[in-house]
Structure 1
Amino acid sequence: MLIKRFVITVGDARVGKSTISRLLLELYLKNQLNVRVFYHGHRNKLSMYQTSCFDINQLGFSRGDSDRLLLDLEMFPKIEVVLTDMPGQNLPEFKFFDQDVSLVENLNCLGYRITFLHPISHRKDCVEEYLQDLYQYFGNQVDYVIIKNYYFGEQFCYYDGNQFQAALKKLNGLELVLDKLHNDFYQLLEDTGLPYAQAVKTDSPLNTLQRSIIFNWIENFHNSIVSNGIASNYLGLMTNRAELVTAGANAHTLSNLDLIEQTESEEW
């Protein structure tokens, strides 16, 4: 029985993959999950989470890398979730990697099922290149979570009504929304270089209004997962756990201020 999750962020460049990964790491920390974290490529965009809680390592595409990964997961059976942040340009290499080492099959043997976490923007390539390629190669071997990133607006004309949206729904693919965060606030958050939970604490460089808006943005996304049984399953939050931590149980005490001013979306 596959009770664990191997979550891989994938998709076009600059659609929010690393942002989604960081938000997930915060949720895993909040729920005290036993997690392994990796990144593909040469840039570790999750480096701010390199702490005693997470040991973040590079994952290459060789047989040696596969052997080390699978041995690690076999030696530590209490690992509940694996999260890998993968740049979009690595997808062809990743497919060859899967063919070479039978990655999906071997992970299944260890009790893991892959979930592809795929943010999309308004751009055509998100759907007609990356998502299409992903679906056509992996089919029903894996599960899919599509993140509509409202940073780019709320219209996804190349996805909504597309044949691949319908095909993914037949495979029980899931759609979630990441609310828009004002560009100025997002940049301020990035400039802190802090894990998101630390950035909203009172001793961070951000002021009260900024921290409150960012805090609510984080909690809204977390609650969209925790309140959805399929999302919790696909993203590894339902491994023998009776309940999940929600925003109401969070220790933060920031006031619930709403972001009133809306601006036009800008491309990352």
Structure 2
Amino acid sequence: MFGKRFVITSGDARVGKSTVSRLLLELYFKSKCNVRVFYHGYRNKLSMYKTKGFEINHLGFSRGDSDRLLLDLEMFPKLKVILTDMPGQNLREFNFFERDVSLIENLNCLGYRVTFLHPISHRKDCVEDYLQDLYQHFGSQVDYVIIQNHYFGKRFRYYEGSKFQADIKKLNGLELVLGGLHNDFYQLLEDTCLPYDQLIETNSPLNTIQRSIVFNWMENFHNSIVSNGIASNYLGLSISCAELVSTSVSKQSPSNFNVTEDIESDKWELFALPN
């Protein structure tokens, strides 16, 4: 039985991998989990979370990188969760890297079970390219969490009812939903360069309605994890951590009201950042 988790985002470009990673970091922070964070590629899209005490380092695809990572994990046995944000274009490179250094096997020896966190959109490539390549390469060696990102709508015709979905379910894969936001809202969040939880505080650059939208969006996603034992396990959250987060969320300001996550475009001017 593995007591630790190595969580890796995977999937096509611009499907919400870094967004999901940030939401997970919020959850890990509230749960007081001992987490180490890495990113592949050239852009650190999680850098704003250094202000919350997370150590975020680059992880390359060489034997030297693998050796340093494994040595680091061995030297700090109390680490419970590793989160790695991987750009879509790096998947094939990562597959070669894993095969070359036997990464999964070595992580298992250190007590880590790997989870691939895989958001999907309405595009065929998300399923018939990236997801297929992922489970054909790793099979039952790892666990899978598929995120249906409702930013792209609520129908995933290339996934739902497909052979790919059936194959993932045979491997005990899990499906979660990430609520959709207005097209411009994601850019609004990016422009603040702040962790998500700071955006729901009264002194944030967002107005009351915007803060409520962000609060409900975060809460819905977090609750879908902490209320599901399998999701909590796959993402490195113990039962005690899940209870802590659930209690913490429920105690936040009761004045937050429900606002639909899909904002009509002609009303967007109501939610612009103040000058």
TM-score, normalization by structure 2: 0.92
Quick check: 1:212–1:254 contact (8 Å CA) kept in 2?
no
Amino acid at match of 2:230: I
Cα-Cα RMSD: 1.8
Paired residue secondary structure (2:194): coil
- CA drift of 1:254 comes to 6.1
| Per-residue Cα deviation, 1:16-47 (whole angstroms, up to 9, x for no partner) | 00000000000000000000000000000001
Match of 1:96?
A: 96
Match of 2:155?
A: 155
* Paired positions, count: 265
Amino acid at match of 1:63: R
Percent of residue pairs identical: 75
Any unmatched runs of 5+ in structure 1? Answer: none
Quick check: 2:3–2:112 contact (8 Å CA) kept in 1?
yes
Residue 69, structure 1, aligned to residue 69, structure 2: yes
More off after superposition, 84-93 vs 187-196: 187-196
Quick check: 2:232–2:239 contact (8 Å CA) kept in 1?
no
- CA drift of 1:149 comes to 0.2
Match of 1:199?
A: 199
Any unmatched runs of 5+ in structure 2? Answer: 266-275
Quick check: 1:215–1:254 contact (8 Å CA) kept in 2?
no
Equivalent-residue separation in structure 2 for 1:68 and 1:7 (angstroms): 18
Quick check: 2:213–2:260 contact (8 Å CA) kept in 1?
no
Amino acid at match of 1:178: L
Match of 1:34?
A: 34
Shift in alpha-carbon separation, 1:257–1:184, aligned structure 2, 3 A: farther
Match of 1:166?
A: 166
Quick check: 1:185–1:214 contact (8 Å CA) kept in 2?
no
- CA drift of 1:88 comes to 0.7
- CA drift of 1:260 comes to 3.7
Match of 2:238?
A: 238
| Per-residue Cα deviation, 1:144-183 (whole angstroms, up to 9, x for no partner) | 0000000000000000011010011011100000011122
Quick check: 2:148–2:177 contact (8 Å CA) kept in 1?
yes
Match of 2:140?
A: 140
Q: Which has the higher helix share?
A: 2
Equivalent-residue separation in structure 1 for 2:19 and 2:242 (angstroms): 28
TM-score, normalization by structure 1: 0.94
- CA drift of 1:246 comes to 1.2
Match of 2:129?
A: 129
- CA drift of 1:255 comes to 2.6
Residue 120, structure 1, aligned to residue 143, structure 2: no
| Per-residue Cα deviation, 1:60-83 (whole angstroms, up to 9, x for no partner) | 001110011001111101101000
Amino acid at match of 1:156: F
Residue 209, structure 1, aligned to residue 209, structure 2: yes
Equivalent-residue separation in structure 2 for 1:261 and 1:224 (angstroms): 16
